[in-house]
Amino acid sequence: MLQLPVYLDNNATTPCDPRVVAAMLPYFTEVYGNAASRSHPFGWAAQEAVDYAREQVARLIGADTKEIIFTSGATEAVNLAIKGVSEMYATKGRHIITAATEHKAVLDTCKHLEKQGAQITVLPVDKEGLVDLAALEAAITPQTILISIMYANNETGTIQPVQAISAIARKHGVLFMSDATQAVGKIPVNVNTDGIDLLTLSAHKLYGPKGVGALYVRRRSPRVMLTAQIDGGGHERAMRSGTLNVPGIVGLGKACELCETEMTSDSARISVLRDRLENALLQLEQSYVNGSRTHRLPHTTNLSFKYIESETLMMGFNKNIALSTGSACTSASLEPSYVLKALGLSDDLARASLRFGLGRFTTEEQIDYTIRTITDAVNKTRSESPVWEMYKDGVDLDTIA
């Protein structure tokens, strides 16, 4: 049975899995102790739950439990990683390399450091959203302390050549950080196989609760040191002070456990639905896939429908289909997506894009409904558009200002 509205904005956030909610509930009302309270059973029980969640998170990404630092989410983890490295390794240099398609959490953190005297290199990407490895290596200087390249893009799903990037970083003795918020739980991520020194993730992107995330910090070969950005009681190996969100951490741990066991089957099913949706909508005239079709996440597709503004298009179906035109963190902006612009799209084509983020609870019926609804909406919107009429009459619209 078709359930409306259809939710296809899983890149912005995922629904909390009922099994995750069930795991969290006792830690609100029964096991409510502070994990830092070491003098009574309530605190011991809370600490035991945190320790187990740390194991669950570590297992999913191939890390050691002592390398997992709990945070309020990926944005805090990114800030702690980049600012923490910048301060700790300032005597070596203050040069950081990143890419134009990074999440705003990375780009804005780098801008903040740049105002304080750091040198930031923002690498361009090709039309698929991939970093040029030769350009990356050429950008490294003796003062370079960190390369921060995301594992997979939140708007297009493009997966970067992480192992090749890490090899370049190791060759030059530079730390490698990856914002893996969209990748963890969707595709296999292993910090050792991938050669990652710092990695960020967030619970609400993998069917866990909002307001909790984690930072992986490598302890050996090399041992990564960070300057804390929140001072206080010295929690989380003195890297992140503050009372731990025990229910949220339990939820993150359970979400990671579920992803570890179900990721392969989830991805196989979801990628079939994604391809079904994509192939059907590409039958529409002047429709395009943005980003890579080979190196990408199984649940994401970003499509442009030329000669239509996506905001206008969405008015025809946004009560029944939830999706977005880009990152949730920049959805209030009227500017075209900076990620799509970095891929070389014109303003008009970037404004004509929709991001589809499928998930664990997406059904075949919902995808078929989405295909019908968006096809009808595109055809209807174009039928009322003088721009589309000019295109059909053979006018070269690229020559018109």
Residue with tokens 């600012």: 83
Q: Would you say residue 335 lies in a domain?
A: yes
Specify whether 59 is located in the same domain as 93.
Answer: yes
Peptide bond into 161 cis (omega under 30): no
Q: Indicate which residues carry an active-site annotation.
A: 329
Residue 333: predicted pLDDT: 57
Q: Name the DSSP letter for residue 293.
A: S
Residue 326: predicted pLDDT: 66
Specify whether 64 is located in the same domain as 213.
Answer: yes
Q: How far is CA 81 from CA 78, 197, 208, 296, 367, in A?
A: 5, 10, 22, 25, 38
Q: How far apart are CA 291 and CA 401, in angstroms?
A: 27
Q: How far apart are CA 307 and CA 69, in angstroms?
A: 47
Nearest CA to 179 among 139, 210, 152? Answer: 152
Nearest CA to 8 among 320, 237, 293, 333? Answer: 320
Residue 3: predicted pLDDT: 86
Specify whether 254 is located in the same domain as 288.
Answer: no
Specify whether 229 is located in the same domain as 313.
Answer: no
Residue 153: predicted pLDDT: 98
Bridge partners of residue 300, in order along the sequence = 357
Residue 152: CATH number of its domain: 3.40.640.10
Residue 75: predicted pLDDT: 98
Specify whether 145 is located in the same domain as 182.
Answer: yes
Specify whether 333 is located in the same domain as 287.
Answer: yes
Q: Would you say residue 280 lies in a domain?
A: yes
Residue 297: CATH number of its domain: 3.90.1150.10
Q: How far is CA 292 from CA 128, 130, 329, in A?
A: 5, 8, 22
Residue finishing a domain among 237, 258, 279: 258
Q: How far apart are CA 314 and CA 322, in angstroms?
A: 9
Specify whether 22 is located in the same domain as 159.
Answer: yes
Maximal CA-CA distance, the chain: 79
Which two three-digit tokens encode residue 201?
Answer: 């993730």
Specify whether 358 is located in the same domain as 317.
Answer: yes
Peptide bond into 222 cis (omega under 30): yes
Residue 318: predicted pLDDT: 78
Specify whether 289 is located in the same domain as 234.
Answer: no
Residue finishing a domain among 219, 243, 258: 258
Give the pTM. Answer: 0.95
Q: How far apart are CA 4 and CA 320, in angstroms?
A: 6
Q: Would you say residue 1 lies in a domain?
A: no
Specify whether 244 is located in the same domain as 302.
Answer: no
Q: Would you say residue 272 lies in a domain?
A: yes
Query: Which structural domain, as residue segments, surrounds residue 300?
Result: 6-12+263-399
Contact 58, 191 (CB under 8 A): no
Which two three-digit tokens encode residue 245?
Answer: 């969100």
Residue finishing a domain among 214, 230, 258: 258
Domain count, the chain: 2
- Other CB atoms closer than 10 Å to residue 65's CB: what's the count? 14
Specify whether 314 is located in the same domain as 380.
Answer: yes
* CA angle 106–112–113, rounded 5-degree value: 90
Contact 301, 364 (CB under 8 A): no
Specify whether 206 is located in the same domain as 281.
Answer: no
Within the chain, which residues score under 70 in pLDDT?
A: 326-334, 401
Residue 317: predicted pLDDT: 87
